[in-house]
Amino acid sequence: MPRQVRFFIVAVVAACLPAIVFVHLSCDTALQTYALDIDGVHGIPLERLLWRQGVYPITGVFAGGAYYDWADEAYRSQWYIPALITSGGRLIVSGRSSDDGVAAVITVPRPELSILDVAPTAGGALGLKGDFDGRCVYPANATQVVVIYVDALGWQRYEWGRPAMSNLSALGPAPAIDVYPSISVVNAAALVTGVMPERSGVDRWERRTMRTGVDNVIDLAARHGVSAAWIDGPRPPVTTATGIISLEDADGDGTTDDEVTARAMAEYEAGTRLLYVHLRGPDRALHASGPYSNRSLAALAQADAQIGTMVRSLKPGTLLIITADHGGHDIAGGKGEHGTLLPEDMIIPFIARAC
């Protein structure tokens, strides 16, 4: 193995799926900014290196003679998975140390569609051109564009809840990939900018402000005289300069999704040309009771009813996009979390179609 190549994937066994990818464990200075302290260990999360190398989604890691099932590791962690690469090139996973300098990572196929495609597709339909990392996946001219994104509706969760999601399943969504870490602030920025987290500057929970000079379709629309709004509950996960409509739970029923749905339809009727609509119920249910609980099923059904209400009111000439920011996985205590490179967290439904 040529040692001078610092990020060198030494082999890809692609004859069958899932694949095993060998990853050389060393971190350059660009990765040092992501250093964390977990359980008394200081290092770069292995997932950061894998994300940078394009090795995702993953289901397991072999290192130092041990196998780590990634869902099990995620189940036991509350946030970042405790798999860190130390400055000496040692990999420490859940307290076990390996100094082999290489890990074998189990990956599963990655969808071609991406959350980064939303902004270029929405913008493209309205004649807004930007410097996107994603692609326009549904070339169309539209009088209005409606982007509905359901918080924490992973593909696996959607498939599980499909019997309760007749409106969404009738539209036939396809799987798409989100960006790492698979959390709301990072993926909300990806949804609206169409650029990678490292470019937008919104690449972790603590960094929500987009870098100066990075464009987003809401502000791009405003500059071109195209009316646009991002309709959300309190403390929206994005920081566009214009267009944010943040609603309170006016009727006190414990969710803003009904207020958001009603406002979205009012904005649509009033002719607002670009709408981002954030439904949050499934994320709350995920954190409270796990992705596959009765409460989660009810939340998915609720979101699907709101999708149905909006979709039925759309007129010809509208481009509809429905997706999610991330999925979620089980954690100890009957709860749920997201943020990892697991397919449950990273693969989301995606639909773009003209009405």
| Whole-angstrom distance, CA of residue 44 vs CA of residue 240 | 30
Residue 209, amino acid: T
Segment interacting with Zn ion (CB under 5 A) among 64-72, 94-102, 204-212, 282-290: 282-290
Judged by beta carbon, residue 257 or residue 267, the one nearer Zn ion is 257
Residue number of the CB closest to Zn ion reads: 283
Segment interacting with Zn ion (CB under 5 A) among 153-161, 256-264, 279-287, 313-321: 279-287
The CA-atom distances, in angstroms, between 262 and each of 199, 212, 232, 258, 307 are 34, 33, 11, 6, 11
Q: How far is the CB of 290 from Zn ion (least distance, A)?
A: 12
Which residues are CB-contacts of 53 (< 8 A; sequence separation ≥ 6)? 7, 9, 23
Segment interacting with Zn ion (CB under 5 A) among 15-23, 74-82, 275-283, 310-318: 275-283
Judged by beta carbon, residue 94 or residue 239, the one nearer Zn ion is 239
Segment interacting with Zn ion (CB under 5 A) among 17-25, 56-64, 89-97, 277-285: 277-285
Judged by beta carbon, residue 91 or residue 299, the one nearer Zn ion is 299
Judged by beta carbon, residue 283 or residue 345, the one nearer Zn ion is 283
CB 293 within 8 A of CB 339: no
Residue 340, amino acid: T
| Whole-angstrom distance, CA of residue 319 vs CA of residue 312 | 13
Q: How far is the CB of 287 from Zn ion (least distance, A)?
A: 6
Q: How far is the CB of 280 from Zn ion (least distance, A)?
A: 9
By CB under 5 A, tell whether 330 contacts Zn ion. Answer: no
CB 124 within 8 A of CB 132: no
Between residue 111 and residue 170, which ones bind Zn ion under the rule CB under 5 A? Answer: none
Judged by beta carbon, residue 187 or residue 318, the one nearer Zn ion is 187
Judged by beta carbon, residue 43 or residue 291, the one nearer Zn ion is 291
The CA-atom distances, in angstroms, between 222 and each of 123, 128, 239 are 12, 10, 14
Q: Pinpoint the alpha helices (H) of 80-146.
A: 118-125
Judged by beta carbon, residue 331 or residue 352, the one nearer Zn ion is 331
Q: Which residues pair with 204 in a beta bridge?
A: 207
Q: Contact letters (x/-) for Zn ion, 229-268, by CB under 5 A?
A: ----------------------------------------
Q: Which residues pair with 323 in a beta bridge?
A: 149, 350
Between residue 294 and residue 313, which ones bind Zn ion under the rule CB under 5 A? Answer: none
Which residues are CB-contacts of 85 (< 8 A; sequence separation ≥ 6)? 25, 26, 27, 43, 44, 45, 46, 49, 91
Judged by beta carbon, residue 283 or residue 330, the one nearer Zn ion is 283
186: left (phi over 0), alpha (psi -120 to 50) or beta: alpha
Instruction: Kindly state the number of chain residues that form the binding site for Zn ion, as judged by CB under 5 A.
Output: 1
Return the number of other C-beta atoms located less than 10 Å from residue 149's C-beta: 23
Segment interacting with Zn ion (CB under 5 A) among 5-13, 53-61, 229-237, 283-291: 283-291
Segment interacting with Zn ion (CB under 5 A) among 44-52, 59-67, 281-289, 317-325: 281-289
| Whole-angstrom distance, CA of residue 336 vs CA of residue 330 | 5
Which residues are CB-contacts of 39 (< 8 A; sequence separation ≥ 6)? 82, 95
Q: How far is the CB of 338 from Zn ion (least distance, A)?
A: 6
Q: How far is the CB of 151 from Zn ion (least distance, A)?
A: 7
Judged by beta carbon, residue 120 or residue 343, the one nearer Zn ion is 343
Q: How far is the CB of 289 from Zn ion (least distance, A)?
A: 13
By CB under 5 A, tell whether 283 contacts Zn ion. Answer: yes
| Whole-angstrom distance, CA of residue 130 vs CA of residue 218 | 11
Segment interacting with Zn ion (CB under 5 A) among 80-88, 158-166, 276-284, 290-298: 276-284
Q: Provide the binding-site residues for Zn ion, judged by CB under 5 A.
A: 283
